[in-house]
Chains A and B, each alone.
Chain A
Amino acid sequence: DTAVSQTPKYLVTQMGNDKSIKCEQNLGHDTMYWYKQDSKKFLKIMFSYNNKELIINETVPNRFSPKSPDKAHLNLHINSLELGDSAVYFCASSQRDQETQYFGPGTRLLVL
């Protein structure tokens, strides 16, 4: 059983399009996260979210928005995609803030 799953695994799209990446965790965790990993493998947190609070990294463009239909899901919606958005996006979860994180397999986004 996959603890943290993401769909799709690969996403190729044109500039200007809007796309979503889905994330689900079956660990019963309270907190979920989105990360962006660039071509140099640098991993940067984008959002942290529990059922009460959304913490946004101030460097993230407002074209990116997390949406959580329930505690087990945190989807990432991206408007007006740009070339620089090409990266691998990882979802993660933890039982509580500052504890061990469990990562999904990643979504490889390529913007043409």
Chain B
Amino acid sequence: SQQGEEDPQALSIQEGENATMNCSYKTSINNLQWYRQNSGRGLVHLILIRSNEREKHSGRLRVTLDTSKKSSSLLITASRAADTASYFCAIVSGTYKYIFGTGTRLKVLA
């Protein structure tokens, strides 16, 4: 399966702590994207990192990509209750090929 595997499947932390979630994949990629999904809502794009990039930042989000290990991580710093959501990686490996991971359910406790 080319499906991305995310771990952990679920993560519960206290407000103010950092949250790290990982995505591993099996195929070569053009880029890798991270999305957030709040309960009962559609997905919202967070960051796109291309295969020739190693790290990207956006506000409290930091994404790294290691193509040699076929893995990516999403770090959310100083988490807030509003960060509670499911986070998905999407592996883009070719024309019209978006393959989503299994998701990490993050719960931030106030």
Q: Which residues of A contact B (CB under 8 A)?
A: 4, 31, 33, 40-45, 48, 55, 90, 92, 97-106
Contacts and interface: CB of A to CB of B under 8 A. Distances in A.
Contacts of B42: 4, 90, 103-106
A23 to B, nearest CB: 11
B41 A42 contact: no
Contact of A101 (B41, B98, B102, B103): B98
A98 B86 contact: no
B33 A100 contact: yes
Give the top 6 A-B pairs by smallest Cβ distance, nearest first: A103-B42, A48-B96, A43-B100, A103-B43, A55-B96, A100-B45
Name the prevailing secondary structure of the B interface residues: strand
Interface residues of B, number: 24
A100 B46 CA distance: 9
A41 B40 CA distance: 11
Contacts of A31: 96
Contacts of A44: 100
A85 B99 CA distance: 20
A25 B30 CA distance: 25
Given A31-B96, A100-B45, A101-B35, 4 more contacts: A44-B100, A45-B99, A102-B45, A103-B43
B96 A101 contact: no
A92 B42 CA distance: 9
Contacts of B92: 98
Nearest to A44: B100
Contact of B86 (A4, A41, A55): A41
Given A90-B42, A101-B45, A103-B43, A43 B88 contact: yes
Interface in B83-110: 86, 88, 90, 92, 94-96, 98-100, 102-103
B102 A42 contact: yes
